[in-house]
Chain A
Amino acid sequence: MINKNTKILIFGLLVLLGAALLTYGAFFHSTNVSAQQDGQPVLLAKSESALIKDASVSGVKRDETGKIKQTYEIGEKAPETCST
Chain B
Amino acid sequence: MVAMVDKNKTGGFTSILIDWRMWIQAAFLMVWLDPAGLRLHTMCSPVFHCYACPLATFACPIGVIAQFGALHVFPFVAVGLLIAVGALFGTLICGWACPFGFLQDLAAKVPTPKFDLPKFTGYFRYVMLIGTVLAVPYFFGEEHPLFVCRICPAGALEAAVPTMAGQVIAGEDIVWPSILKLTILILFLIAIFFIRRPWCRLLCPLGAIFSLFNRVSAFFLRFNADECTHCEQCHKLCEYGIEPEKTPNDLRCIRCLECTKCSPDALNLSSIFSRAQEQE
Contact = CB atoms under 8 A, between A and B. Distances in A.
A10 B60 CA distance: 26
A62 B52 contact: no
Nearest to B177: A84
B32 interface: no
Interface string A23-39: 11110010100000000
Contact of A25 (B72, B77, B85, B216): B77
Interface in B168-195: 177
Given A18-B83, A60-B71, A7 B142 contact: no
B207 interface: no
A26 to B, nearest CB: 6
Contacts of B80: 17-25
B20 to A, nearest CB: 26
Nearest to B148: A84
B136 to A, nearest CB: 12
Given A14-B87, A15-B87, A84-B147, A48 B76 contact: yes
Contacts of B217: 11
A81 interface: yes
Contacts of B83: 14-15, 17-18, 21
A2 B76 contact: no
A14 B86 contact: yes
A35 to B, nearest CB: 14
Interface of B: 41-44, 51-52, 59-60, 63-64, 67-68, 70-73, 75-88, 141-142, 147, 149-150, 155, 159, 163, 177, 213, 215-218, 272-273, 277-278, 280
Interface of A: 2, 4, 7-8, 10-11, 14-15, 17-26, 29, 31, 48-53, 55-58, 60-62, 66, 68, 81-84
A84 B59 CA distance: 15
Contact of A56 (B63, B81, B163, B216): B63
B250 to A, nearest CB: 15
A14 B85 contact: no
B42 A22 contact: no
Nearest to A4: B277
Given A52-B42, A53-B42, A84-B149, 17 more contacts: A4-B278, A14-B83, A14-B213, A18-B81, A20-B80, A21-B79, A21-B83, A22-B81, A26-B43, A31-B71, A51-B73, A55-B67, A57-B52, A61-B142, A62-B71, A81-B159, A84-B142
Contact of A19 (B67, B84, B218): B84
Contacts of A81: 52, 159, 163
A45 B178 CA distance: 34
Contact of A52 (B64, B142, B149, B163): B64
15 contacts: A2-B216, A18-B81, A19-B80, A22-B77, A25-B78, A26-B43, A48-B75, A49-B42, A52-B42, A53-B59, A56-B59, A62-B71, A68-B71, A68-B73, A84-B155
Given A19-B84, A22-B84, A84-B150, A55 B64 contact: yes
